[in-house]
Amino acid sequence: MARPKTGIVHLGLGAFYRAHGAIYIEQAMQKSGGDWGIVGVSLMRPDQRDALEPQDFAYTAVELGPEGETPRMITVLNGVLVARENPEAVLKALSDPDVKIVSLTVTEKGYCHEPSTGKLNSGHPDIRHDLAHPGGPVSAIGMLVWALERRRAAGSRPFTVLCCDNLPDNGKVVRQVVLEFAGMVSPELARWIETEGAFPSTMVDRIVPATKPEDIERVVELTGKLDLSPVMHEPFRQWVVEDHFVDGLRPDFGAVGVELVENVTPYEHMKLRCLNGTHSSLAYLGYLAGHETIAATVADPVFARFCKHLWNAEITPGLKAPPGVSLGDYTAALFTRYANPAIRHRTWQIAMDGSQKLPQRILGTIAENLAGGRPITGLSLAVAAWMRYVGGVDEKAEAIDVRDPLSARLKALSDGASLPADKVSALLSVREIFPEALAENQSFRTALVSAYESLSAKGARHTIEDMTA
């Protein structure tokens, strides 16, 4: 079957994008046409390319719903490149004038920014490397800027940069770091990107656990075919996008249910705080209590009560709902999504990269609640659970495999103190995570110390039980 021409390059090809953006785009082309085939880029590892290439980049997306599993073949990918192996091929793809959109899911840490300020971390080793290597960038930001420079030099138009990561104002974040990097290359380039480029913010949502070996076997049972890289996802999906694209060029998103809006901020706040905020809270506390998945965690009534308490008492009271949305309905639907037993989303997976996630998921709500006189006990317990987690030892005294760009430093800070109050103080000193005003707030500190003490003495489950009794 003839494939559509490539119009999109996606940086950070993982299960999430293949089960979310890629499917929307394939459906938009089925409805309205257009040359929006996708070339995916893995920044480091070749495994996605190696699994997908022999199957001509087609893969199975399996919807795990209450009525069972629905597999669907997705054929929107035209290829996968591996940046570490061949950065020139990536720059070439990005410089092709037929490519109108470059989208990204490179995770929070992939923007090389300082989460608490949103500015480029110009001391980041990848950024320093990329400033010196126009032909061989290793960071997504370096790839974007050096490709934009090639396009400008060739007299082409810039591409739209479509950020699909869970960051607030994600378009603004990537615009800020791209412009800062470009400014160090040449003021002219920065000006061109600023005036001609586009960085719409987006809110993306679909729960897509990492594919497990048993998923591959399940797909064989369902379809009779071996697929080395299927993706498993929940039925729910949402994509809210600011309709601001270079020369207005984009797939017919409106035809497939993508919400095109002027201002994505209320949607992002709602999703990051209600979904990702409780996801991370359940991940740290659930992991410490020995729960393997989110579904198992909320099947425990103590945790279910806690999750609802977080929404009702601490998260939604200060939140401005997007137009026409009821936060009560939104969080009720979220609970059903978490409880879906077919989605085996590991607490350990969500617990990764906490240093990059806590600010936008939890700390913003805590800071606003403190200013507005609202409670912070439950969210502070979640932060204390993260502090226990990065200490690297679980409630059965077993080692935790902590994955975080700051893991070594966090562990050293935790190990360097012995009393809970000192561990809390040590971890609060990490400025990339806790802004000074919050770190020095006495109510927050007191809540953290008491939560940490209780976690050490009684464990996560009993602490929550007492709190929500």
Asked if 356 touches ligand CS2 (CB under 6 A), the answer is: no
Asked if 463 touches ligand CS2 (CB under 6 A), the answer is: no
Least distance to ligand CS2, CB of residue 168, Å: 13
Considering beta carbons, is residue 109 or 151 the nearer one to ligand CS2?
109
CB neighbour burial string for 356-388, b if at least 16 within 10 angstroms, e if fewer: bbbbbbbbbbbbebbeeeeebbbbbbbbbbbbb
Asked if 145 touches ligand CS2 (CB under 6 A), the answer is: no
* Residue facing ligand CS2 at closest CB distance: 279
Residue 51 φ/ψ, nearest 5 degrees: -75, -35
User: Which ranges constitute the DSSP H helices of 46-86?
Assistant: 47-52
Taking CB under 6 A as the binding criterion, the range among 67-75, 134-142, 187-195, 203-211 that sits at the site for ligand CS2 is: 203-211
Task: Give the SS3 label for residue 40.
Answer: strand
Q: Which of 180, 205, 314, 404 binds ligand CS2 (CB under 6 A)?
A: 205
Give the integer Cα–Cα distance in Å for 19 and 205.
10
Least distance to ligand CS2, CB of residue 206, Å: 5
Sequence-distant (6+) residues with CB within 8 A of 335 are: 298, 304, 307, 308
Asked if 166 touches ligand CS2 (CB under 6 A), the answer is: yes
The one-letter amino acid at 206: R
Strand order in the sheet with 259-261: 202-205, 238-242, 259-261
Least distance to ligand CS2, CB of residue 461, Å: 21
Least distance to ligand CS2, CB of residue 98, Å: 30
Least distance to ligand CS2, CB of residue 24, Å: 14
Across-strand partners of 39? 9, 79
Residue 378, CA distances (Å) to 199, 282, 375 in order: 35, 11, 8
Considering beta carbons, is residue 130 or 205 the nearer one to ligand CS2?
205
Under a CB-based contact definition with an 8 Å cutoff, are residues 380 and 448 in contact? yes
Asked if 337 touches ligand CS2 (CB under 6 A), the answer is: no
Q: Which of 99, 145, 178, 350 binds ligand CS2 (CB under 6 A)?
A: 350
Taking CB under 6 A as the binding criterion, the range among 45-53, 146-154, 204-212, 365-373 that sits at the site for ligand CS2 is: 204-212
Asked if 279 touches ligand CS2 (CB under 6 A), the answer is: yes
Taking CB under 6 A as the binding criterion, the range among 65-73, 85-93, 205-213, 384-392 that sits at the site for ligand CS2 is: 205-213
| Total residues interacting with ligand CS2, rule: CB under 6 A | 9
Label residue 192 exposed, middle or buried (CB < 10 Å: 0-12, 13-18, 19+).
Answer: middle
Considering beta carbons, is residue 151 or 345 the nearer one to ligand CS2?
345
Structure tokens at 288: 């410490």
Asked if 96 touches ligand CS2 (CB under 6 A), the answer is: no
Task: Give the SS3 label for residue 81.
Answer: strand
Least distance to ligand CS2, CB of residue 338, Å: 10
Considering beta carbons, is residue 279 or 461 the nearer one to ligand CS2?
279
Under a CB-based contact definition with an 8 Å cutoff, are residues 311 and 277 in contact? no
The number of helix segments (H) and strand segments (E) in the chain equals 23, 11
Least distance to ligand CS2, CB of residue 361, Å: 8
Reported residue count of the chain is 469
The C-alpha angle with vertex 304 and arms to 402 and 368, in degrees rounded to 5, equals 70
Q: Which of 91, 164, 207, 400 binds ligand CS2 (CB under 6 A)?
A: 207
Asked if 78 touches ligand CS2 (CB under 6 A), the answer is: no
Task: Give the SS3 label for residue 70.
Answer: strand
Asked if 219 touches ligand CS2 (CB under 6 A), the answer is: no
Considering beta carbons, is residue 151 or 279 the nearer one to ligand CS2?
279
Asked if 276 touches ligand CS2 (CB under 6 A), the answer is: yes
Give the integer Cα–Cα distance in Å for 187 and 201.
24
Asked if 83 touches ligand CS2 (CB under 6 A), the answer is: no
Asked if 270 touches ligand CS2 (CB under 6 A), the answer is: no
CB neighbour burial string for 77-107, b if at least 16 within 10 angstroms, e if fewer: bbbbbbbeeebeebbebbbbeebbbbbbbbb
Q: Which of 206, 344, 346, 461 binds ligand CS2 (CB under 6 A)?
A: 206
Taking CB under 6 A as the binding criterion, the range among 27-35, 61-69, 220-228, 272-280 that sits at the site for ligand CS2 is: 272-280
Structure tokens at 50: 């190696």
- Positions 171 through 200 that interact with ligand CS2 (CB under 6 A): none
Least distance to ligand CS2, CB of residue 241, Å: 15
Binding site for ligand CS2 (CB under 6 A): 166, 205-207, 275-276, 279, 349-350
